[in-house]
């Protein structure tokens, strides 16, 4: 790394580039070797920031379903896709009938083979939409 590259990095940081050395309030002076080490670390941090700024971790809230038995008694709330599938498998394993989810005030019936008899828009379809987009189907 040459002096001109160091000057650019210091300018990007809004720091004054020293002609010979820079005074440090704790340890005295930095030499160019120290400045080069600092500049290399700075470049690594900036590269990581560039990558991180391209990725946004979205807060995705899964829909909440209410689960009811065949006597219309509420069993509880389902708060994840995994919980929903677990309940469906239990229905299949135990050969239960008459169970259903309530989602956005719409009844989604589950048959004894754990199949959903109807589907409501917004009902755990984000996964399907994401996979369609990844496979360029959308």
User: Does any domain span residue 84?
Assistant: yes
Q: C-alpha distances in angstroms, 67 versus 13, 41, 62, 103?
A: 56, 54, 15, 9
Q: Are 69 and 129 within one domain?
A: yes
Average pLDDT for residues 13-25, to the nearest whole number? 52
Q: Are 86 and 123 within one domain?
A: yes
User: Does any domain span residue 117?
Assistant: yes
Mean pLDDT, rounded, of the chain: 77
Please write the tens of the pLDDT for every residue from 61-106.
Answer: 788 899 999 999 999 999 988 999 999 999 999 999 999 999 989 9
Q: How many domains does the chain have?
A: 2
pLDDT greater than 80 at residue 20: no
* pLDDT over 90 percentage in the chain: 30
Q: Are 35 and 80 within one domain?
A: no
Question: Could you tell me which residue, 33 or 119, shows the higher pLDDT?
Answer: 119
Q: Give which of 53, 9, 55, 50 is closest to 32, Cα–Cα.
A: 9
Q: Are 70 and 129 within one domain?
A: yes
Q: Give which of 126, 5, 11, 134 is closest to 60, Cα–Cα.
A: 126
Say what the pLDDT of residue 106 is: 92
Q: Are 38 and 69 within one domain?
A: no
pLDDT greater than 90 at residue 116: no
Domain span at residue 92 reads 65-134
Say what the pLDDT of residue 25 is: 45
Whole-model pTM: value is 0.55
């Amino acid at each position: 790394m040459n002096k001109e590259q160091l000057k650019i990095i210091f300018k990007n940081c809004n720091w004054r580039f020293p002609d010979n050395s820079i005074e440090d309030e704790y340890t005295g002076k930095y030499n160019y070797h120290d400045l080069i080490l600092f500049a290399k670390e700075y470049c690594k941090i900036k590269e990581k920031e560039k990558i991180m700024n391209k990725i946004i971790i979205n807060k995705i809230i899964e829909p909440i379903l209410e689960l009811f038995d065949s006597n219309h008694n509420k069993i509880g709330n389902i708060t994840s896709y995994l919980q929903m599938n677990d309940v469906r498998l239990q229905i299949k394993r135990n050969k239960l009938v008459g169970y259903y989810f309530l989602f956005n005030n719409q009844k989604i019936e589950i048959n004894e083979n754990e199949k959903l008899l109807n589907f409501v828009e917004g009902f755990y379809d984000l996964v399907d939409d994401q996979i369609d987009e990844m496979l360029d189907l959308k």
